[in-house]
């Protein structure tokens, strides 16, 4: 705790963005070009490739997802073609160490967090009621809470959020025994009954400050 506080103070003092404290963004730069075709040059996402925005997401979550794709805790469920594609991209000698992943993610976190184009519409009043069940982990503003291992949802591509809710419901995420966060999230799908619920809750998330 004391070490962390010192780091925070030091980062303020020398003007390093806090989010990148774990990795070296410059060292991560050369690892990113292979990601560009799907996630965009600045991590803004690309719907045509089904690849979400990764700019503006918490580093702890990006790191964990890369590790999940590498270990098979994500991207190996039957029928998950998109997850399998991404899993293939997470492997290879250059990404084999956690230090390399941390550098890559520090670089991703240097991208500007641009607003998304909204594509999902729904009943935001219903969505607000549904979101009550989500706030304890994802935060009141869907900003993500590291303590709960829960990612930021506000500002994420809305079509991607709907697709991931479908994936959790279908068991394409949260299936691995060691994936505690994913299993917790999968269990939450009891609250959302059908695609109308998915759209409504995502439409509400779209109203939160990005
Ligand atoms: C061939 C296209 C492709 C390439 C190249 C690619 N990705 Fe992905 N990535 C995807 C797709 C598609 C998904 C969504 C998978 C799903 O639907 O579950 C994804 C998901 C992710 C996620 C999870 C995001 C979240 O919010 O859950 C991260 C992190 C990620 N990619 C990082 C990277 C990085 C870093 C690279 C470069 C090393 C990369 N990707 C290269 C297609 C790609
Ligand atoms: C008990 C805590 C908890 C609650 C409550 C919860 N979530 Fe999650 N959620 C998580 C965790 C943890 C993850 C990350 C899972 C992982 O690491 O793969 C997640 C992931 C997600 C994702 C995937 C995001 C991405 O970038 O891939 C979506 C979408 C999501 N949650 C929506 C919701 C919605 C909507 C609700 C309310 C109905 C909700 N969550 C309630 C813990 C929770």
Confidence of residue 22 (pLDDT cuts 50, 70, 90): confident
To the nearest whole percent, how much of the chain has pLDDT over 70? 90
At residue 68, the pLDDT reads: 98
**Residues 67-94: pLDDT tens digits?**
999 999 999 999 999 999 999 999 989 9
**Residues 135-168: pLDDT tens digits?**
999 999 999 999 999 999 999 999 999 999 999 9
Q: What is the mean predicted confidence (pLDDT) over 103-125?
A: 97
Residue 99, CA atoms < 13 Å, CB-side half-sphere: 1
Confidence of residue 105 (pLDDT cuts 50, 70, 90): very high
Q: Is 192 in the pocket of ligand 1 (CB under 6 A)?
A: no
Q: What is the distance in A from the centroid of ligand 1 to the CA of 82? A: 9
Give yes or no for residue 18 having a pLDDT over 50. Answer: no
- Which of 10-19, 24-33, 130-139, 190-199 comes out lowest in average pLDDT? 10-19
Q: Is 162 in the pocket of ligand 2 (CB under 6 A)?
A: no
Question: How far is the CA of 62 from the CAs of 15, 65, 90, in angstroms?
Answer: 23, 5, 12
Q: How far apart are CA 176 and CA 69, in angstroms?
A: 11
Q: How far apart are CA 150 and CA 143, in angstroms?
A: 9
Give yes or no for residue 133 having a pLDDT over 90. Answer: yes
Q: What is the mean predicted confidence (pLDDT) over 27-43?
A: 97
Q: What is the mean predicted confidence (pLDDT) over 182-193?
A: 97
Q: From the alpha carbon of 174, which atom of ligand 2 is closest?
A: 18
Q: Please, what's the b/e burial string for 154-183 (b: 16 or more CB within 10 A of its CB; e: otherwise)?
A: bbbbbbbbbebbebbbeebbbbbeebebbb
Q: What is the mean predicted confidence (pLDDT) over 130-134?
A: 98
Q: What is the distance in A from the centroid of ligand 1 to the CA of 39? A: 7
Encoded tokens for 40: 């965009």
Q: Is 187 in the pocket of ligand 2 (CB under 6 A)?
A: no
Give yes or no for residue 51 having a pLDDT over 70. Answer: yes
Q: What is the mean pLDDT of the chain?
A: 92
Closest ligand by atom to 37 CA? 1
Q: Which of 129, 138, 161, 205 has most ligand 2 atoms within 8 Å of CB, for mutation?
A: 138
At residue 21, the pLDDT reads: 56
At residue 15, the pLDDT reads: 37
Q: What is the distance in A from the centroid of ligand 2 to the CA of 178? A: 16
Give yes or no for residue 23 having a pLDDT over 70. Answer: yes
Is residue 102 exposed (0-12), middle (13-18) or buried (19+ Cβ within 10 Å)?
A: buried
174 vs 4 pLDDT, higher one: 174
Nearest residue by C-alpha to atom 27 in ligand 2 = 164
Q: How far apart are CA 210 and CA 34, in angstroms?
A: 27
At residue 20, the pLDDT reads: 43
Q: How far apart are CA 108 and CA 115, in angstroms?
A: 16
């Amino acid at each position: 705790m004391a070490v962390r506080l010192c780091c925070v103070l030091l980062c303020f003092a020398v003007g390093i963005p806090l989010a990148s404290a774990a990795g070296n963004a410059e060292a991560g730069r050369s690892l990113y070009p292979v990601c560009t075709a799907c996630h965009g040059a600045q991590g803004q996402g690309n719907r045509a490739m089904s690849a979400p925005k990764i700019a503006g997401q918490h580093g702890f979550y990006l790191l964990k997802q890369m590790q999940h794709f590498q270990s098979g805790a994500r991207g190996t469920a039957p029928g998950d073609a998109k997850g399998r594609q991404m899993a293939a991209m997470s492997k290879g000698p250059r990404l084999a160490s956690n230090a390399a992943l941390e550098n890559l993610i520090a670089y991703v976190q240097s991208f500007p967090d641009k607003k998304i184009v909204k594509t999902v519409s729904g009943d935001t009043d219903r969505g607000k009621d549904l979101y009550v069940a989500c706030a304890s982990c994802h935060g009141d503003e869907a900003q993500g809470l590291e303590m709960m291992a829960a990612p930021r949802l506000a500002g994420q591509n809305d079509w991607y959020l709907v697709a991931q809710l479908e994936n959790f419901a279908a068991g394409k995420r949260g299936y691995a025994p060691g994936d505690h966060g994913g299993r917790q999230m999968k269990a939450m799908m009891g609250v959302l009954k059908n695609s109308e619920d998915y759209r409504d809750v995502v439409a509400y998330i779209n109203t939160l400050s990005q």
